[in-house]
Amino acid sequence: MLVLGIETTCDETAAAVVERQADGSGKILSNIVRSQTAEHARFGGVVPEIAARAHVDLLDGIVASAMKEAGVGYAQLSAVAAAAGPGLIGGVIVGLTTAKAIAMVHDMPLIAVNHLEAHALTPRLTCALAFPYCLFLASGGHTQIVAVVGVGQYVRLGTTVDDAMGEAFDKVAKMLSLPYPGGPQVERAAEDGDAKRFTFPRPMLGRPDANFSLSGLKTAVRNEASRLVPLEPQDVSDLCASFQAAVLETTADRLSVGLKLFQEQFGTPRALVAAGGVAANRAIRGALQDVAARAETTLIIPPPALCTDNGAMIAWAGAERMALGLTDTMEAPPRARWLLDANAKAPVGHANSRAGY
């Protein structure tokens, strides 16, 4: 089974061809990603209109490159999959419309993929992980703990009640005048900082639910930064280190609760999986490793190129769904919001911040 995947939910224009083999394993034949970081840098964040126009300009060429690199023609494809949400609606429309056109012209099935499901299923592409497992999804637009029970079967165990984790990193970077994208800049500055200089709050620590809250922590950083103006380079490093330490402790606590809830409902998870750009943060990876060890489970983090938005994860999710006979019609709608767990309440986090994560 060969599937072309298209991803345009935020500021990456991406396309890939993935093969799902008879034994259920996957192979990436091509994975082309064009980031729009330079276009948005002067604004300090993603501008939806600019992102959508860039997708229009870039996507046809990206798809052609993905097909050429994979060495396949459209007649060899089993289906075309596109991220139909959640995300910036202009970009989602561009990708989904392109996929519909390809499906119509070449008379092949269309699969409208939930972007979050693509993240959730990525470890099954990289290491053939069996269900059920626990997913920690942390990016510029999402922070969730999810029980991945099967394809199309997800239970959200925890989410952010305000800012997404990557968004918090982004806003802290901006208030400290660090370059865009902010997440990696905060991580780098923290390496030279004193994490004990500032005592920031650990929101939601010790609560029986597995939810996150990052808005108050972000405000605490702003208050300290305002008190110290003008900021010296060491002040910035210490603020970043203290902020990151608070995020690490909070994340470890929230994930420990999430894994306990998972155990109560679904038994021992086969793994703790981290996805989304925040998983590229080395300090957070270390904290996740400690949480997994205490829970006596395995930590799985896909390669960095598959943690951030990419076409291969969309193609793979499409292949997983098609293997179960789950395809879509031309009426499949683009969605700005699309819950992974249909029974969960809509998250409040904003989807237009990237933080470089």
pLDDT in tens, 19-29: 999 999 999 99
Q: Does 192 carry a binding-site annotation?
A: no
Q: Which domain holds residue 167?
A: 133-300
Domain contains 355: no
pLDDT band at residue 38 under the 50/70/90 scheme = confident
Q: Does 187 carry a binding-site annotation?
A: yes
pLDDT band at residue 116 under the 50/70/90 scheme = very high
Q: Does 350 carry a binding-site annotation?
A: no
Could you say which DSSP state residue 47 is in? -
Instruction: Tell me: do 168 and 295 sit in the same domain.
Output: yes
The per-residue pLDDT for range 182-227, each reduced to its tens digit, is 999 999 999 999 999 999 999 999 999 999 999 999 999 999 999 9
Of 221, 224, 287, the C-alpha closest to 250 is: 287
Of 240, 243, 276, 272, the C-alpha closest to 258 is: 272
Q: Does 60 carry a binding-site annotation?
A: no
Tokens found for residue 312: 């291969």
Instruction: Tell me: do 12 and 27 sit in the same domain.
Output: yes
Domain contains 331: no
Give the angle 31-33-39 at the CA atoms, nearest 5°. Answer: 175
pTM over 0.85: yes
Half-sphere exposure at residue 79, Cβ-oriented, CA atoms within 13 angstroms: 27
Q: Does 162 carry a binding-site annotation?
A: no
User: Is pLDDT above 80 for 170?
Assistant: yes
pLDDT band at residue 140 under the 50/70/90 scheme = confident
Mean pLDDT of all residues belonging to the chain: 93
pLDDT band at residue 44 under the 50/70/90 scheme = confident
Q: Does 115 carry a binding-site annotation?
A: yes
Could you say which DSSP state residue 76 is in? G
Instruction: Tell me: do 96 and 209 sit in the same domain.
Output: no
Q: Does 40 carry a binding-site annotation?
A: no
Domain contains 356: no
Q: Does 281 carry a binding-site annotation?
A: yes
Instruction: Tell me: do 233 and 119 sit in the same domain.
Output: no
For the chain, the domain total comes to: 2
Give the model's pLDDT for residue 354.
Answer: 39
Instruction: Tell me: do 85 and 209 sit in the same domain.
Output: no
Strand runs labelled E in 288-346? 299-300
Domain contains 345: no
Tokens found for residue 350: 């904003």
Instruction: Tell me: do 101 and 144 sit in the same domain.
Output: no
Q: Render 224-290 in DSSP notation, one character per residue.
A: HHHHHPSPPHHHHHHHHHHHHHHHHHHHHHHHHHHHHHHHHHH-S-S-EEEESGGGG-HHHHHHHHH
Question: If residue 171 lies in a helix (H) or strand (E), which one and from where to where?
Answer: helix 165-175
Give the model's pLDDT for residue 355.
Answer: 39
Q: Provide the b/e sequence for 318-341 (b: ≥16 CB within 10 Å).
A: bbbbbeeeebbeeebebbeebbbb
Upstream peptide bond of 86 is cis (omega within 30 degrees of 0):
yes
